[in-house]
A and B are shown apart, each in its own frame.
Chain A
Amino acid sequence: MTEFEWRVSVASILGSLALLTMVAELVRRNKIRERYAILWLATSLVLLVLSLKRSWLEALSHLMGIHYPPTALFLLLMAFVLLILIDYSIALTKQLTKIQKLAQDQGLLERRVRELEKAKNA
């Protein structure tokens, strides 16, 4: 590996380390729940391992027919980001369903309280 080729490895190692540290710190500070951190942690760990083990990355890019191995890293990152986005859509839908049910039940309960108070005062 030439000195120039080393640079991309160093950059991707630093990049994945930065991502890993950031996510870990956000979890530690309770800014991200574990459920949402898992995919991010997986992303950064996979990127880190492939940045460190150049031979694995080369095997992977060979398998996918990619000439320039670091491109495989990009592709992998893209796949993870897509996965995370779909996961977010699922989470959003779940939240929406819960919020709607809460609002409905709040409305029904408010009515019941109103009726009970009316009966009490009558």
Chain B
Amino acid sequence: MSRPKIAILIPSFNEEASIPRLLPELRALARSKAEWDFLPVFINDGSLDRTAEVLEREGAQAGDFTWIHLPVNLGIGRAVQTGLKLAVELDADVTLQLDCDGQHLPSEVPKLAASVLEQRCDVAVGSRYIAGGAGNVSSRARQAGTLYFSWLLRVLLGVRILDTTSGFRAFSREVTAFLASHYPDDYPEVQAYVFLARKRFRILEVPVQMREREHGASSITRFRSLYYMIKVTLATLLDRVRRLPTLEERTLS
């Protein structure tokens, strides 16, 4: 195999402070794994702070990453999907999703990417909850919610994923192409698994370390968590029966 191309999608909404912290870690990753080509892609989801300026400034100097400015805020789901479309365009072998806020460690990227590259799975999920994974096990409420979604996915689809709200994931080329045309809109962490399991993609949890988030708050605040759980449950149940394209259709689009 020639040099594998690894796209790292980093959805960024108001992350002016996190980007300069993340860049050195991404560069350390590129140095530590020189036999792979890494392409970090920041997706500026209509940020209201100076995220755009920071990207332009840092990018003009370095040129070892790229970025997309979305003209309006589309939300995490559509932002990631934009990155997936670019990954298809750039013909990446593996496409990862990594949070900008510092809780996902770039040094854990090779572990996830390797699982996909070595074809052990189609989707590798960075997990705090399986043996070997650790860190940032935030609130008990959040943990309970994560376990609840885990149960829901097992009952609905028979897939076993413990860290259901982890946004640290790696996708194969085929999964990337599929999700580029069919990515869930509202609650992509949990909902994406419904599509992926229904299409019989192999999902594997890989233990990773996670860090306390350095900046910004989770998109899921404790106050809204119950409301969130109800909405995700409804969306997930609907996704179970939603019309999906056939395999033939999805390669065409």
Contact = CB atoms under 8 A, between A and B. Distances in A.
Interface of A: 100, 103-104, 106-108, 110-111, 115
Nearest to B66: A111
Interface string B53-94: 000000000000011111110100010011001100100000
Contact of A104 (B66, B67, B85): B85
Interface of B: 43, 66-72, 74, 78, 81-82, 85-86, 89
B68 A103 contact: no
A108 B69 contact: no
Given A103-B72, A104-B85, A108-B68, 12 more contacts: A103-B71, A104-B78, A104-B81, A104-B82, A106-B70, A106-B71, A107-B69, A107-B70, A107-B71, A108-B85, A108-B89, A110-B69
Given A104-B81, A104-B82, A110 B68 contact: yes
Nearest to A97: B185
17 contacts: A100-B74, A103-B74, A104-B81, A104-B82, A106-B70, A107-B70, A107-B82, A108-B68, A108-B82, A108-B85, A108-B86, A110-B69, A111-B66, A111-B67, A111-B68, A111-B86, A115-B66
A71 to B, nearest CB: 35
B85 to A, nearest CB: 6
B242 to A, nearest CB: 13
B58 to A, nearest CB: 14
Nearest to A110: B69
Contacts of A111: 66-69, 86
Pairs A-B, 10 closest by C-beta atoms: A104-B82, A107-B68, A107-B70, A111-B68, A100-B78, A106-B71, A103-B72, A103-B71, A103-B70, A107-B82
Contacts of A110: 68-69
Contacts of B74: 100, 103-104
Contacts of A108: 68, 82, 85-86, 89
A57 to B, nearest CB: 40
Contacts of B85: 104, 108
Contacts of B69: 107, 110-111
A104 B71 CA distance: 8
A111 B78 CA distance: 17
Contacts of B68: 107-108, 110-111
A100 B89 CA distance: 18
A70 to B, nearest CB: 39
A115 B63 CA distance: 10
Contacts of A104: 70, 74, 78, 81-82, 85
